[in-house]
Amino acid sequence: MEIKIVKTDHPAQKPDAATLGFGKIFTDHMFVMEYSHEQGWHDARIVPFGNISLHPASTVLHYGSEIFEGLKAYRRADGKVQLFRPMENIRRMNNSAERLCLPQINEEDGMQILDTFVSLEQDWVPAAEGTSLYLRPFLFGNDETLGVHAVHNAVFMLIASPVGSYYKEGINPVKIMIEDEDVRAVRGGTGYAKCGGNYAASNRAGQRAEEKGYSQVLWLDGVERKYIEEVGAMNVMFKIDGEIVTPKLTGSILPGITRKSCIEVLKEEGYTVHERLLSLEELEKALRDGKLEEAWGCGTAAVVSPIGELRYRDEVFTINNGEIGEVTQHLYDTLTGVQWGKIADTRGWIHPIG
């Protein structure tokens, strides 16, 4: 694929690592290409970062046809830049696209876009401990009509934001509220697709949890409100009586790449890992019997996020004395070790840039 490059005349000052938050600062350029039914994907280009213009009837603004991905570029101690399992993101984006009737992108073209873009912006990958360049590919329907149908025109873009360390003050376990009213997704719906609408539907519960002093909610399944699904926008895992249990991918759960990587590491190390239905009832019993040893969320942003407290209605349970557990810490050290190149990559997870 040919990618045209138009460089900015006004490169911005790189931010100080101490001021980095999440997704507030963007790099000098962005990638854009358009899709039409007749031409397929065309006009692939990297241009100066800036606002985009849309027809007021554009599909995405009315019917929410939008999907996205999230991955990071990491700077190693030797100065080189690398990605973590990027082909997994490209494949997942295509699965999301299929669900929302958006056009898919050829896998090799997807890799070429990531390679070309990150290579051009590599000075934006920060070097301080725990920092990275967050990459946000996204794809949306852009027909200029209010008619409802599978889209004929779409746009794919890639933007990037240098982000700070998720754990500047150390890894502190979070307090989570079990949500039994709102649901995030249902089987047959879009739960397994990384689409913007899922987030719009999650916001109310997240906001209510925050008002009560909790950082996120534990989602239950949308049919029976009986089985554990995810925590906030992360997958969730538990250590119960020495074994690892994580909800199986039934269609309403997002297939996380961090989740998959945690499972692979744990199995390699001899842990028994169950991907199965896990009911709230079973979880409550394990809590009461003192058998719930660890609980953590996992996703690209935090890698792992230990859960120190779970609240269900008016009852509050503490997990592992509110401290990070051994398995959670080990997963954090292993995955971040590979991502930042401190540990040898024995699994083919690393994609070097340049």
Ligand X SMILES: *Cc1c(COP(=O)(O)O)cnc(C)c1O
Asked if 193 is part of the footprint of ligand X (rule: CB under 6 A), the reply reads no
Q: Which stretch binds ligand X (CB under 6 A): 41-49, 227-235, 315-323, 334-342?
A: 227-235
Closest CA to 259 of 300, 222, 292: 300
In terms of CB distance, is 258 or 334 closer to ligand X? 258
In terms of CB distance, is 116 or 198 closer to ligand X? 198
Using CB under 6 A as the criterion, what x/- string covers residues 137-176 for binding ligand X?
----------------------------------------
Asked if 222 is part of the footprint of ligand X (rule: CB under 6 A), the reply reads no
Asked if 325 is part of the footprint of ligand X (rule: CB under 6 A), the reply reads no
**Which residues, other chains included, contact 68 with Cβ-Cβ below 8 Å and sequence gap of 6+?**
93, 136, 137, 138, 139, 194, 195, 196
CA distance 140 to 97: 9
Closest CA to 22 of 217, 299, 354: 299
Among 103, 256, 308, 325, binds ligand X (CB under 6 A): 256
Least separation in angstroms between residue 72's CB and ligand X is: 9
Q: Which stretch binds ligand X (CB under 6 A): 50-58, 169-177, 233-241, 267-275?
A: 233-241
Least separation in angstroms between residue 254's CB and ligand X is: 4
**Please, what sign has the CA dihedral across residues 9, 10, 16, 21?**
negative
Site size for ligand X (CB under 6 A): 13
- Residue 3 near residue 45, CB atoms below 8 Å: yes
- In the region spanning residues 294 to 323, those forming contacts with ligand X, defined by CB under 6 A, are 299-300
Both tokens of 255, joined, read 């297939």
Q: Which stretch binds ligand X (CB under 6 A): 50-58, 94-102, 255-263, 325-333?
A: 255-263
Closest CA to 116 of 47, 64, 185, 58: 47
Would you tell me the crossing angle of helices 86-99 and 257-268 to the nearest 10 degrees? 130
Binding site for ligand X (CB under 6 A): 70, 194, 230, 233-235, 254, 256-259, 299-300
